[in-house]
């Protein structure tokens, strides 16, 4: 059984865990969290650990590992509804949908973590978001102890956010996706993916080809987990792409209109504030640095501490704000620490 949070996070950072329980089914997950809440014991629910930045002091309470698994599919005409346990590995599920020709998820290939975490952050990549295909969720409300079925409208989905993101009140138990029965992916929204596939944006391509290209792109940016590659010892994009007023857009900064608001490239802001790939700080016994492949990833080079990682994050955040007047905020979930 893991003894530290470092063993449970993709950053490989975090101090000791006082007590750890593996929840191997949805029923066990509900029972364990309810019981701990009733006793007053602090609870930290951990899935794949791919979005967690945990204090060097660790967690003085119960760590519940979400290890439920499996899915059930109901096919009707040209569509399929697939209900997936929260602990089912996300990319394995995406691969399954591609193999079975259930269309809708190929552009989100290679994203680490578990399926139950995907609606929390409304994960997305290359023009797709899970909110595009989520049709329902089963959720434990820790406030009332009730298990509830939620519609997408209740989830408050937005760019990399949801009603679940900034609270620990809810535990996602299962997610149901509505997918099309087709070998082709939905129309491609991301220019680079379309270009590599030899099609125009708005056109479609086989899901298997989309998955292959997306995995190649993610690997080139250090965004596919590889224990031997310290560029992947990260939480992926540490900072979220910021939304700004039109007058705040720096000259030359890539920007996109999303839900009527202007979104900027945080990676461009970081690089143009003077923090290039591989920029690092070495302090004390550890080392941290920006990925050598992608400036949005803050990485543990092998012996870092969480305190050192946050030192680097503050230097970058403050440098961007000084240069552009735009304050970046973390996309990662911080536990026991503040930025």
Contacts 24+ apart (CB under 8 A), 23-26: 23/64, 23/65, 23/66, 23/67, 23/68, 23/87, 24/67, 24/68, 24/69, 24/87, 25/68, 25/85, 26/68, 26/85, 26/86, 26/138, 26/173, 26/174
Reported as type and span, the H/E element at residue 91 is helix 90-99
Catalytic positions are: 160, 237, 331
Any idea what DSSP says for residue 2? Answer: -
Question: Dihedral through CA 215, CA 274, CA 251, CA 329, nearest 10?
Answer: 70
- Closest listed residue to residue 202, CA positions, set 183, 218, 221, 188: 188
Q: Which of helix, strand or coil describes residue 158?
A: strand
Q: Are 17 and 2 in contact (CB under 8 A)?
A: yes
Token representation of residue 23: 């929840």
* Residues in Cβ contact with 263 at an 8 Å cutoff, skipping those fewer than 6 apart: 159, 241, 242, 243, 255, 256, 257
* DSSP 8-state assignment for residue 303: S
Strand order in the sheet with 255-258: 243-244, 261-264, 255-258
């Amino acid at each position: 059984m893991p003894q530290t949070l470092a063993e449970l996070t993709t950053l490989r950072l975090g101090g000791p865990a006082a007590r750890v329980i593996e929840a191997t089914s949805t029923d066990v997950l509900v029972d364990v969290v309810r019981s701990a809440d009733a006793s007053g014991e602090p609870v930290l629910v951990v899935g794949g650990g791919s979005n967690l930045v945990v204090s060097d002091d660790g967690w003085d309470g119960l760590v519940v590992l979400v290890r439920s698994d499996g899915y059930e599919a109901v096919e009707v005409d040209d569509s399929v509804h697939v209900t997936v346990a929260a602990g089912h590995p996300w990319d394995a599920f995406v691969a399954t949908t591609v193999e079975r020709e259930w269309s809708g998820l190929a552009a989100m290939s290679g994203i680490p973590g578990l399926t139950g975490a995907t609606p929390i952050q409304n994960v997305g990549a290359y023009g797709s978001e899970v909110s595009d295909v989520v049709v329902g969720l089963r959720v434990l409300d820790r406030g009332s102890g009730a298990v509830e079925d939620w519609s997408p409208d209740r989830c408050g989905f937005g760019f990399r956010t949801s009603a679940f993101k900034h609270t620990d009140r809810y535990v996602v138990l299962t997610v149901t996706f509505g997918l099309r029965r087709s070998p082709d992916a939905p129309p491609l929204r991301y220019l680079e993916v379309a270009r590599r596939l030899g099609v125009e944006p708005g056109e479609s391509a086989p899901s298997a080809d989309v998955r292959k290209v997306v995995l190649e792109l993610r690997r080139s940016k250090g965004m596919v987990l590889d224990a031997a590659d310290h560029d992947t010892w990260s939480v992926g994009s540490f900072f979220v792409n910021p939304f700004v007023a039109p007058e705040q857009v720096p000259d030359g900064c890539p920007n996109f209109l999303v839900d009527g608001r202007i979104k900027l490239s945080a990676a461009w802001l970081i690089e143009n504030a003077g923090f290039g790939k591989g920029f690092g700080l070495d302090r004390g016994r550890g080392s941290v640095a920006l990925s050598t492949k992608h400036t949005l990833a803050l990485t543990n080079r092998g012996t870092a501490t969480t305190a050192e990682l946050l030192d680097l994050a503050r230097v970058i955040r403050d440098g961007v704000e000084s240069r552009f007047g735009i304050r970046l905020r973390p996309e990662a979930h911080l536990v026991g620490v503040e930025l």
